[in-house]
Amino acid sequence: MSASSDPAGSQPGPRSYGRGAAILSVGIGVTGLVTYAYFSLASHSLSDDDYGHITLLWSAIFITVSILYRPVEQLLSRTIADRDARGRTGYEHLRVAATIQLALGAVFAAAALIFRHPLQHSLLGGSKTLYWVLIAAVLSYAASYFARGFLAGNRRFGLYGALVLMESTSRCMFAAAVTVGIASGQSIVALGMAAAPLVSLAVVPWALGRRLRRAEPVTQEQTDALDAAAAGEPSAGEPEFTLAHGSGFAAAVLLIMLSEQTFLNAGPLLIKASEGAAGAAVAGFVFNVLLIARAPLQLFQAIQTSILPHLTRLRATGAADPFRRSINITLGAIGAFAGSVALVMLVAGPKVMDLLFGGNFDYEAYGLVIVSIGMGLYLSAATLNQAALARGRTRQASMAWVGSAVAFVVFLLIPGFHNRVAQVEVGYLGAALLLCGLLYALYRRPDVTAPATPRR
């Protein structure tokens, strides 16, 4: 989307930003469709209760990996892009990021062993297999997300797309095997979640063999912009990258990721906890409805992944107008996409959902439209969030996310709603609207520390 407006895409290098982002969009777009296929096949092949526990396992895995590991992905993406734009060399940022990632993985492993009983019996229906799939998958994603951040920061978006596409395809093969009768049971479908991140790492040795990280010369325009910034705003430069610096950024993004997963998973998890024996089946229904919001995030990852290093480079070189233009074009495209999805859901939403997930649930068009509008607001907020991260406003952005997520959970806990699914749908829309408004207000604030803005 924004790639087409990217003037930085013409910077020296073997591949332009625009071409790389387009390749990534195709790869992640196909990944989203394959993810839909995985859950569609699982829904048709398993009982409602078994499918409900598959969705809960998925939620648990991706809540955990997004909270723990995406901060390091974002940290690497932003830091590598900024250092390249400023002509800095060295590998201390990689060592710091690896240290943080290893520590987070160790914390998870210890916590999962300590809390084995509630995880296995309260969340996963007593299944030992699902419990060990949870542990194996989360630990494997530590390496996967480190690789993603490294690829994104170096703008190797084609390889990034290949990694996530290989991951989703390998996972879907397990559900397909159950559907066609090669294998059977919930455990086989679940094992795909553990195998997928390991299979996707096959991209990494090949990528390193292709000399993934290529140093690019700093142009004269970049040098002039940085010299002017140093003269006019001596405090604007990025500080030396240390463990404390990296940990501070990662901690703020960790709060953002926690809030993000609250938006996507609080509904199914709270319903599972409050609805008793039927909770797993109802949670599976709510999960299917929220796939309207979740699945486009797979496609949006292409924009989210490529726009952060892009915006970081523009800010580091003082290109304010292309920065704003990239954001505006992306927001416009999201609005058009969300409007189209809402129209489809209004006209044929229940039929589409019945076709994808079977006719065991009663989907209502108005609820699907509400979630579609909320999805558009949420994706817009995620775009504005990347602008905040590129400008170094990570702490302020995290406060907006946490406040909106808390408001969502509080709304879900309000008693008296006879239709819990509708409560989740309305709560999601309201919280997404609040988040988008807060981040837009942050975006509108002048970037007084931008390198190209001399002190007056």
Can you give the pLDDT at residue 404? 96
Tens digit of pLDDT for each residue in 20-49? 567 777 777 788 788 888 988 988 888 888
Can you give the pLDDT at residue 208? 64
Residue 183: pLDDT band by 50, 70, 90 thresholds? confident
Can you give the pLDDT at residue 361? 66
Tens digit of pLDDT for each residue in 266-290? 887 777 776 655 556 667 777 777 7
Q: Which of 80-94, 263-277, 433-447 has the highest mean pLDDT?
A: 433-447
d(CA 236, CA 52): 50
Overall residue count recorded for the chain in this entry: 456
**What's the mean pLDDT in 407-422?**
85
Q: Between these two residues, 168 and 321, which has the higher pLDDT value?
A: 168
d(CA 425, CA 286): 9
Helix 17-45 and helix 186-200, axial crossing angle in degrees, nearest 10? 160
Percentage of residues in the chain having pLDDT higher than 70: 81
Residue 11 pLDDT > 50: no
**What's the mean pLDDT in 295-324?**
79
Can you give the pLDDT at residue 210? 56
* Helix, strand, coil tally for the chain in percent (to 5): 80, 0, 20
For the ranges 58-62, 244-248, 328-332, 423-427, which has the lowest average pLDDT? Answer: 244-248
Tens digit of pLDDT for each residue in 310-327? 888 888 877 778 888 889
Q: Between these two residues, 302 and 415, which has the higher pLDDT value?
A: 415
Report yes or no: 152 and 73 within 8 Å, Cβ to Cβ: yes
Can you give the pLDDT at residue 434? 97
Residue 103 pLDDT > 90: yes
Can you give the pLDDT at residue 8? 37
For the ranges 220-224, 308-312, 381-385, 436-440, which has the lowest average pLDDT? Answer: 220-224
Q: Is 275 exposed, middle or buried (0-12, 13-18, 19+ CB in 10 A)?
A: middle
Residue 405 pLDDT > 90: yes
Q: Between these two residues, 94 and 444, which has the higher pLDDT value?
A: 444
Domain range list for the chain: 16-212+240-444
d(CA 159, CA 349): 35
Can you give the pLDDT at residue 20? 58
Can you give the pLDDT at residue 228? 44
Q: Average model confidence (pLDDT) for the chain?
A: 80
Residue 3: pLDDT band by 50, 70, 90 thresholds? very low
Residue 207 pLDDT > 50: yes
**Cα within 13 Å of Cα(22), Cβ side:** 10
- Six-digit token string for 54: 């598959």
